[in-house]
A and B are shown apart, each in its own frame.
Chain A
Amino acid sequence: MLQNQLIFNQSSVSLEIIGLPDYANEENKSQISIISQWKLMIIDKPLIEGNIDHLSSIMGAFYSYANFLINNDNAFYESKFIDIKAENYFTHNVLLKSSKPNVKPLKIKIGNSVLSDIINCFDQFNSSIKVRKVNSVVLDKHPKKGFLVFINKDKIFSILLPPLISVCSLFLISSTFIYFYNLSEANDKKELIHSK
């Protein structure tokens, strides 16, 4: 049976959806309700493809990650199929984990322009009336902030070091003063004895 194909393009990214209409619901021939395959093509990057579960997982990951970026959160997403981490404020590391055994995970580095293109492609796909919406389950895979996460080693040093140095220097200076004080007191006593 000939399958339908829809392509959503945005600059350097294109999303291809291949599938069939749901004839049981008497849908239009050009409609795609049963997605059998999808391909995410990014210029200069390897082809990403998979089944409907992978698509919903990847869309959920990118949407969650984009929301973290917009809402000033620590941009970081982890799931069974995909991890996305910010390397710096203009590079993002995407790690795609295959569901097949003995297949190494695929690591892709993308910039902000490609990230926004991907989100734009997914938005076009979501708003298209020709294809059934994928339930991109946005699971909260963001690591919960335990109290240990808030402890930043650099911050601890910057908080503890100045008072520590000040206490040490105070101790050193005061101890030298005590020595001088004792010395002058001893001299005074000697002078008193001599005068007697």
Chain B
Amino acid sequence: MLTLETIDLNGAQSLLNLSSNLNLNKILPNKVTIWKLRNNNPMRKSYINNKITIQAFDALTKLAVEMSKALYPYIREILQSRDDIDKNPYAWNNFKNRFIELIYERLNINSMRVKKLIDPNGNDEILIKNLLTLALCSSDEGYQKLRTSLLNF
């Protein structure tokens, strides 16, 4: 989700719009509900254990897949920029800087896992993996792929 929000500057609003397009209004009626669900991430500054339901988990997964479908051209451009980092580093560097900014803003940087994410020398692999997973799941069967991957995590 944070990766998607890094690409889409108006990510929170886009998520809400998508949830209404996907008829997920009952589970995700507003931005606050989405924010509360996302606070189940223990790496967040505002972490609260809300006990996420399977319906809410599925809804968030669907949102992530739909967002990655919509943002596929941008995800691809960033991945290509990393592939040809010598020729075209702009998109990759821009994405990386914004991702780190968002982490400082949202996550608890005292956590060791978060420190790994903001380490400029070691976070490339994690970022590429996140982007590639979203790119590979941006299809009609992407929901099943991402769901399985998240449940196996």
Contact = CB atoms under 8 A, between A and B. Distances in A.
A130 B91 CA distance: 37
B149 A70 contact: yes
Interface of B is mostly: helix
A124 B141 CA distance: 10
B34 interface: no
Interface string B134-153: 01111111000110110011
Interface string B55-83: 00000000000000000110111011011
Interface of A is mostly: helix
A67 B128 CA distance: 15
Given A11-B76, A67-B145, A116-B76, A111 B138 contact: no
Contacts of A124: 139
A116 B132 contact: yes
A112 B133 CA distance: 10
Given A71-B149, A89-B129, A112-B132, A127 B79 contact: no
A71 B152 contact: yes
B8 to A, nearest CB: 18
B82 A112 contact: yes
Contact of A127 (B76, B132, B139): B139
B119 interface: no
Most-contacted residue by chain B among A115, A120, A124 (CB, 10 A): A120
Give me the 7 closest cross-chain CB pairs, A-B, nearest first: A111-B83, A123-B139, A116-B135, A113-B80, A113-B79, A112-B79, A70-B149
